């Protein structure tokens, strides 16, 4: 006996993910911006905020069957250095932009391909990307990218609220844990 299909409503399954290597200069923008977002905004419990570094193929479980994935990362594009842009999956397929460092670039696209085969791909993928100034080992994040980290945080909040997901400014904001920077710049407190 077949039972009729039920329409079970569930809260959005959303992940905000910072990707990048904090030891490779501006490639650490993803972890920086996601930490700033975590400290500046409070979201519903349905939103997980993660700094995943450079996970490679280990990224797949974090993308599995999500309603919305927002990735913050340094990207290679024709935009001037320090330009913050919002990309959809099609922008990367058409080569409008490419993720910057190969340590996590293949992991994202291969993970999406595996999930597509399994029928568990995220419903929506957005990448908040910045064109880096330099991704040199042990150089630290450039002053330009340090200044726009809060802009990436605000863009993340807008993407969430535009989709009806609870996200509100923290008052006061908490102090970010930027353990990889020699000193936390005053504008990030």
**Residue 104 pLDDT level (bands cut at 50, 70, 90):** very low
Please tell me the least confidently modeled range out of 8-12, 59-63, 174-178: 8-12
CA distance 166 to 37: 14
Q: Helices 143-162 and 29-40, interaxial angle, to 10°?
A: 50
pLDDT of residue 3: 40
Record the pTM.
0.83
Which residue range forms the structural domain that includes residue 69? Answer: 14-166
Closest CA to 84 of 147, 8, 171: 147
Tell whether 183 is covered by a domain: no
Tell whether 6 is covered by a domain: no
Query: With contact defined as beta carbons under 8 Å apart, do 90 and 127 qualify?
Result: no
Query: With contact defined as beta carbons under 8 Å apart, do 111 and 57 qualify?
Result: yes
Percent with pLDDT over 70 in the chain: 81
Sign of CA dihedral 17, 21, 24, 25: positive
Segments of 83-177 assigned E as strands = 84-88, 97-99, 124-130, 167-169
Tell whether 171 is covered by a domain: no
Domain count along the chain: 1
Sign of CA dihedral 82, 86, 88, 91: negative
Q: What is the pLDDT of residues 45-101, one digit of tens each?
A: 889 999 998 888 788 888 888 899 999 998 877 888 888 989 887 776 655 555 544
pLDDT of residue 106: 58
Q: Cα dihedral angle (74, 76, 82, 85), rounded to 10 degrees?
A: -80
Residue 151's CATH number: 3.40.50.1450
Token pair of 35 as six digits: 């930490």
Tell whether 180 is covered by a domain: no
Tell whether 101 is covered by a domain: yes
pLDDT of residue 185: 60
Half-sphere exposure of 108 (CA within 13 A, CB side): 27
């Amino acid at each position: 006996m077949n039972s009729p299909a039920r329409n079970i409503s569930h809260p959005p399954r959303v992940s905000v993910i910072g990707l990048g290597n904090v030891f490779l200069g501006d490639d650490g923008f993803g972890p920086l911006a996601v930490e700033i977002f975590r400290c500046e905004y409070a979201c519903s419990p349905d939103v997980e905020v993660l700094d995943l570094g450079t996970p490679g193929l280990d990224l797949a479980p974090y993308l599995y069957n999500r309603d919305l994935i927002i990735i913050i990362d340094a990207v290679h594009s024709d935009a001037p250095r320090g330009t913050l842009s919002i990309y959809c999956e099609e922008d990367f397929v058409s080569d409008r932009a490419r993720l910057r460092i190969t340590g996590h670039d293949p992991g994202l696209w291969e993970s999406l391909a595996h999930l597509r085969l399994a029928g568990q791909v995220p419903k929506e993928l957005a990448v908040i990307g910045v064109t880096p100034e330099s991704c040199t080992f042990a150089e630290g994040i450039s002053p330009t990218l340090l200044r726009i980290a809060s802009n990436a945080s605000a863009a993340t909040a807008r993407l969430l609220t535009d989709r009806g997901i609870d996200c509100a400014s923290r008052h006061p904001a908490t102090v970010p844990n930027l353990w990889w920077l020699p000193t936390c710049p005053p504008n990030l407190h």
